[in-house]
A and B are shown apart, each in its own frame.
Chain A
Amino acid sequence: MANIRPFCMPKWGIEMTEGTIAEWMVKEGEAFSKGQVLCLIETAKITNEVEAEYDAVLKRLLTPASEEAHPVGALLAVFADADTSDAEIEEFIAGFKPAETSVAAKGGGSAPAAATATPAAVAPAPAREPKKIVTNRAISPEALKLAEAEGVDIEPIEGSGRNGRITYQDVVQALRPERALSFNGSAQLVEDSPEAFASPLARRIAAQHGIALAGIKGTGARGRISKADVLALVKPTMAAAPAFGAPFELVSNQPQVQPFDKVRKVVARRLTEAKQTIPHFYLRVSAAVDELMALRKTANLVLGAKASINDYIVKAVALALVRHPDVNVQVHGDSVHSFPHADVAIAVASPKGLVTPIVRQADRMHIAQIAATTRALIDKAQAGKLGYEDMDGGTFSVSNLGMFGIEQFDAIINPPQGAILAVGGANRVAVEADNGDIAFETRIQLTMSVDHRAIDGAAGAQFLQTLKGLLEAPEGLFA
């Protein structure tokens, strides 16, 4: 049994209609095993890894990684057992009918054919037919196969093989985009000195560190002083401070070029889009949190909960959102979606970059439940295991940089959400007490970035009033 199975564009959320393959981790013809990451798929909202659900071989890769979006249900690749013949695969592709797609919770694989509430009428993307190349150019068989599969025009290629024959490497080069190169430039040339038998690099390093070569015993070829011999004498300490009044010397300051990885690219693109296209306005307020801090201490003891100040802020935000439905919104093009409950996202720094998992219906949760939920989401984010379902949707984000001593900052809205709250650290500030004396209290600064397309200034301000009230009289958070 050949066990041929299709791999289609998964449907990860009710609003997902199409996706883009950012990268394949498995090559055509390669075997993979259950749990291995097959590819990286980008949607309008997130980038997610697709894990294999079973062991098989990637027999045919129909849609290579590109900027092109493919509809949900489109056939992306064909998996089968290793011994499956090409003819069987071709037959399967020819006869393939896309299944009705339901929401897949985890990655792709063969989407189960189940009726969905909103059947998406999706035509499969036509598989790329290898384009037959007729040429009298000399070209290696593998190079021709690759050029046909990828649709490479071989005519402009200058073959590097014998008599201009095109090699596989030449076609791979033609497929790669031109890179902007950065050069490191010239280096200092250290003159050969007859008294020291040393390699050029050893001489250069010696000159850099002010080491005299005369007395060194070389361990290199033919008793020559090598790089290693000089480096052994370079003290690993800091270079001595230049004498007072010595002229300032410029040292090499070449950049290290690190191209964005896939995830960083997506984050960069979406933040740029958000900042450029959403008309942000900012509302600032500060709240006294002495009572909240005292209450948190007591509550943690009484409830045995490990809730952080941020958990209380999430709870307060959720309650305030429910009381102000005009702020509890998502903005989609020219319509506004408002929700009865508050799904609040929290910004978490993960090894893969900034992620915003969501505490669902935080308004209905008890503080201990919020604490448990945020803990679980943060752990998942740190492990790089957050899935689409953890990050999809939400109407509002809370971003807290208080732990780094930041007093206040302005955050960028996470579309399609309507607003984001930037929370600073708690500070002791002097205030006028009731009797006219000076007293000290602990305050935090809150800055809300608001999407002016859907939320007006007054609505945002009233929401913040409610939020401030909830934080300053925190017993309401246990309602």
Chain B
Amino acid sequence: MAKMMYRDAVVSTIAEEMERDENVVCLGEDIVGGMGTPGGPEAIGGIWSTSTGLFGKFGADRVIDTPISESAIMGAAAGLALSGKRPIAELMFADFIGVSLDQIWNQIAKFRYMFGGKTKCPAVIRMAYGAGYNAAAQHSQAVHQILTGMPGLKVVMPTTPADVKGLLRTAIRDDDPVIFLEHKALYGVSGEVPDDPDYMIPFGHARLSRAGQDVTIVSTGLLLGFCEAVADKLAAEGIGCDVIDLRTTSPLDEETILDSVEVTGRLVVVDEAPPRCSLGADICALVAEKAFASLKAPPLSVNPPHTPIPFARELESAYLPSVDKIEAAVRKVLSYR
């Protein structure tokens, strides 16, 4: 077990996989970062430092700096994947997905299906998402609800450095396109990471980070830590929370959610995307449909308000689901009579 940051787990996993399989290539804006000074202090490796040192190790053929054109990056990734490579394309800010949506949604997601399974499209599309960084409305969004609703894509949202390692490796080795969502507020978080060069976490396999028998809290990404704080606070009062880290929103680990709700009878989903048609609404509907007999209270989803993300620091913290808001929601389902 080594201790490393979330961002270093990304870099080291990509490096290990590029080492293992020469078909793995990287492309994105500024990912070389300080061309010609491999490993030097200027070679930051993308604006998130998630490709630091790769250029020095693998060279220009496998670490490709692209123009600022998301449609070109995704189109190139689609072509690379179809012709036998395993591209890892970085979109930088998830908010920029709009201009490359045709490549992702209409091409990459549908190739394997429309070609009758005669080819595959093993592309990994990485992007940094999420608020809490004071980056305003066009650089802070959680896009998972858009992508989770697209058949043909797998959507991954790691919370811990260890999960980055296990899930990114699974994503790179997967023969289908995978959207890999990294929360920008988690890049600096450290944690223990298994040393096993083949450590993989299967998709659709949620993680239980707190175990209790009174309420089920489902979340992902940055907000999961808030949920754990709420669970720890309530545990002192004798209230037990099952805190489920989804890890992947597509495929969704229905079984773990339903197993938990069958025990607790209460559900709170904490979701960073806006409330309408959200992941939270989706999971509440799932539970209302398939665990109705176990429910002791209406399932609840905690989301930001249905507005663009504000720039002002104070407004942004009012926008995000906070520990207090999550606690209030949990208490609300606990006190339902």
A residues whose Cβ falls under 8 Å from a Cβ of B: 169, 173, 176-179, 181, 183-190, 192, 194, 197, 199-201, 204, 220-222, 224, 226-227
In the complex, given contacts A183-B334, A185-B240, what are 14 additional A-B residue pairs having Cβ atoms less than 8 angstroms apart? A181-B335, A183-B214, A183-B238, A185-B214, A186-B211, A186-B235, A187-B213, A187-B242, A190-B211, A194-B196, A222-B202, A224-B202, A224-B204, A226-B255
B115 within 8 A of A: no
B239 and A199 form a contact (CB under 8 A): no
B211 and A227 form a contact (CB under 8 A): no
Kindly report which residue of chain B lies nearest to residue A173, judged by CB atoms.
Answer: B337
B residues less than 8 Å from A183 (CB atoms): 213-214, 237-240, 334
- A-B pairs under 8 A by CB, number: 91
A185 and B337 form a contact (CB under 8 A): no
Name the prevailing secondary structure of the B interface residues: loop
B205 and A197 form a contact (CB under 8 A): yes
B213 and A184 form a contact (CB under 8 A): yes
A residues less than 8 Å from B204 (CB atoms): 221-222, 224
Complex Cα–Cα for A221 and B203 (A): 11
A residues less than 8 Å from B34 (CB atoms): none
B49 within 8 A of A: no
B residues whose Cβ falls under 8 Å from a Cβ of A: 166, 194, 196, 199-214, 235, 237-242, 244, 251, 253-256, 259-260, 263, 298, 334-337
B207 vs chain A, min Cβ distance (A)? 6
Kindly report which residue of chain A lies nearest to residue B236, judged by CB atoms.
Answer: A186
B residues less than 8 Å from A178 (CB atoms): 335, 337
Complex Cα–Cα for A222 and B254 (A): 12
B residues less than 8 Å from A169 (CB atoms): 298
A222 and B251 form a contact (CB under 8 A): yes
A residues less than 8 Å from B207 (CB atoms): 192, 200
A224 and B208 form a contact (CB under 8 A): no
Known: A173-B336, A184-B240, A186-B235. A199 touches B255 (CB 8 A): yes
A residues less than 8 Å from B259 (CB atoms): 199-201, 227
Complex Cα–Cα for A181 and B99 (A): 52
B240 and A221 form a contact (CB under 8 A): no
Kindly report which residue of chain A lies nearest to residue B212, judged by CB atoms.
Answer: A186
B212 and A185 form a contact (CB under 8 A): yes
Complex Cα–Cα for A454 and B238 (A): 52
Known: A184-B240, A185-B238. A221 touches B335 (CB 8 A): no
Kindly report which residue of chain B lies nearest to residue A202, judged by CB atoms.
Answer: B259
A residues less than 8 Å from B194 (CB atoms): 194
Complex Cα–Cα for A179 and B336 (A): 9
10 contacts between A and B (CB under 8 A): A177-B337, A179-B337, A183-B238, A183-B239, A185-B213, A185-B214, A187-B212, A192-B207, A200-B260, A221-B255
